């Protein structure tokens, strides 16, 4: 077969992205060989990054589909091999560059990734539901989004995003699973079944550091961290590891919950972080018969938190949105399909998408960045 046919097949392979790294397999050195015989049979040999690659079937399917579309190809045979240790080290160097290991890219002065730590004063306010829906809405708008399930004891993000895939380790890098275009890492993907995690503070800090430094996130636009309730070890570790992370406070309208949420947000005074705003969840239940809103959990909690945080921090903390109660929001979390994707026109979904838009469109500030200013000395 002519070299032109082989070149066309190679061009088709350049359109196939590795499902985990999301870069062309040709760029990653994953194409071992390409042969096309006179009958039009294309024989493609592909390197897997590791022997137990969980995405091998998808990779085979994607390669077959891309090559089959080449004019003159009558059949495609894909064989899989495994990268050598030297090849994997080369891949790690290509992806990470010369950055030292355990360096958190989001903490570097030149990072352009917006990092939002989603916090709440107490459990049960829907913080994780807000996190996954904001992430899914941002990804649907074309942003590159990652989510860290930082609630080590109460991890729930994988289920709510609908992924059962486990991370893949390539040398010292961890490739995170993806769902709905969102990269996600959670301790729940490293444990067996529903086994509880029983760790003290130092272990929690180490796990969070590994999630941030050892996971290959790529070039993210937004990283969301779903924090555990309260102001414990994880909240302090986030402030230490990513000082530029901004706090997004989630509360319900109930004043008792609002008081606790205000305390959670006030941690910014001690950690010197910025508060991006307040989200009021469960803000009334629209009556299915008359349309009147029932204030099941009271009213005014979100505004009370924003006002309290504005006073204590001396900044203008706004209520970014009030999300009405919708049973489909809970169902989406159980089914792994966020409401913003399942029914984007639902009132709760519209409010979540509006909040996501506000967070996505904010211009990056100068906090934590090197300005490159020179000192001028006068003689």
Domain spans, the chain: 3-96, 105-361
- Split at pLDDT 50, 70, 90, the class of 277 is very high
How remote is the C-alpha of 51 from its chain's centroid? 26
> CA–CA separation, 37 vs 73, rounded Å?
9
Output the average pLDDT for the chain: 86
The CATH superfamily label for domain 3-96 reads Fe-S cluster assembly (FSCA) (3.30.300.130)
Closest-CA residue to 46 (of 76, 62, 25, 70): 25
The yes-or-no verdict on residue 94 having pLDDT over 60 is yes
> CA–CA separation, 30 vs 16, rounded Å?
11
Which numeric CATH code is attached to 105-361? 3.40.50.300
% residues pLDDT > 70 (the chain): 90
Burial 13-39 (b: 16+ CB within 10 A, else e): beebebbbbeeebbebebbeebebeee
The yes-or-no verdict on residue 365 having pLDDT over 50 is no
- Split at pLDDT 50, 70, 90, the class of 367 is very low
Q: Which residues contact 341 (CB under 8 A, 6 or more apart)?
A: 136, 140, 180, 332
**In the predicted model, what is the mean pLDDT of residues 3-14?**
90
> What's residue 374's pLDDT?
43
> CA–CA separation, 134 vs 38, rounded Å?
52
SS3 of 75, please?
Answer: strand
The yes-or-no verdict on residue 46 having pLDDT over 90 is yes
Burial 132-164 (b: 16+ CB within 10 A, else e): bbbbbbbbbeebbbbbbbbbbeebbbbbbbbbe
The yes-or-no verdict on residue 33 having pLDDT over 90 is yes
Q: Which residues contact 12 (CB under 8 A, 6 or more apart)?
A: 66, 67, 69, 70
The yes-or-no verdict on residue 53 having pLDDT over 80 is no
User: How is residue 40 written in tokens?
Assistant: 């039009």
Tokens 């539901």 found at: 129
Adjacent-strand bridge partners of 116:
224, 246
> What's residue 99's pLDDT?
59
DSSP calls for 16-51: PBPTTT-SBTTTTT-EEEEEE-TT-EEEEEEEESST
- Split at pLDDT 50, 70, 90, the class of 354 is very high
> CA–CA separation, 178 vs 43, rounded Å?
29
Instruction: Indicate the burial class of 165 (C-beta count within 10 angstroms; 0-12, 13-18, 19 or more).
Output: middle
The yes-or-no verdict on residue 377 having pLDDT over 60 is no
Equal CATH topology for 3-96 and 105-361: no
Of residues 284 and 36, more confidently modeled: 36
Longest Cα–Cα distance of the chain, Å, equals 81
């Amino acid at each position: 077969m002519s070299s032109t046919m082989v070149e066309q097949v190679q061009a088709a392979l350049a359109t196939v992205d590795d499902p985990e790294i999301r870069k062309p397999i040709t760029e990653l050195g994953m194409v071992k060989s390409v042969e096309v015989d006179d009958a039009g049979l294309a024989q493609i040999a592909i390197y897997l990054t590791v022997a137990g690659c969980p995405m091998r079937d998808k990779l085979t399917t994607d390669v077959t589909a891309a090559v089959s579309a080449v004019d003159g190809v009558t059949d495609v045979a894909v064989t899989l091999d495994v990268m050598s240790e030297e090849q994997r080290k080369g891949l790690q160097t290509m992806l990470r560059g010369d950055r030292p290991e355990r360096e958190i890219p989001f903490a570097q002065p030149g990072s352009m990734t917006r990092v939002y730590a989603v916090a709440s004063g107490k459990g049960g306010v829907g913080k994780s539901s807000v996190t996954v829906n904001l992430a899914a809405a941002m990804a649907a708008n074309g942003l590159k989004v990652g989510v860290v399930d930082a609630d080590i004891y109460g991890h729930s993000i994988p289920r709510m995003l609908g992924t059962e895939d486990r991370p893949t380790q390539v040398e010292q890098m961890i490739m995170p699973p993806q769902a709905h275009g969102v990269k996600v890492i959670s301790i729940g993907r490293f444990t067996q079944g529903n086994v509880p995690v029983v760790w003290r503070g130092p272990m929690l800090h180490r796990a969070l550091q590994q999630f941030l430094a050892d996971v290959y996130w790529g070039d993210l636009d937004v990283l969301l961290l779903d924090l555990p309730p309260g102001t414990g070890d994880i909240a302090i570790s986030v402030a230490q590891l990513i000082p530029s992370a901004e706090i997004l406070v989630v509360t319900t309208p109930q004043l008792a919950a609002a008081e606790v949420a205000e305390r959670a947000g006030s941690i910014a005074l001690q950690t010197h972080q910025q508060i991006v705003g307040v989200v009021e969840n469960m803000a009334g239940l629209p009556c299915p018969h008359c349309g009147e809103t029932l204030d099941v959990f009271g009213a005014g909690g979100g505004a009370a938190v924003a006002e309290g945080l504005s006073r204590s921090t001396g900044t203008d903390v706004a209520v970014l949105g009030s999300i009405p109660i919708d049973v489909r929001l809970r169902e989406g979390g159980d089914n792994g399909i966020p409401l913003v994707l399942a029914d984007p026109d639902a009132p709760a979904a519209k409010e979540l998408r509006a909040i996501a838009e506000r967070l996505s469109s904010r211009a990056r500030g100068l906090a934590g960045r090197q300005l490159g200013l020179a000192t001028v000395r006068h003689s």
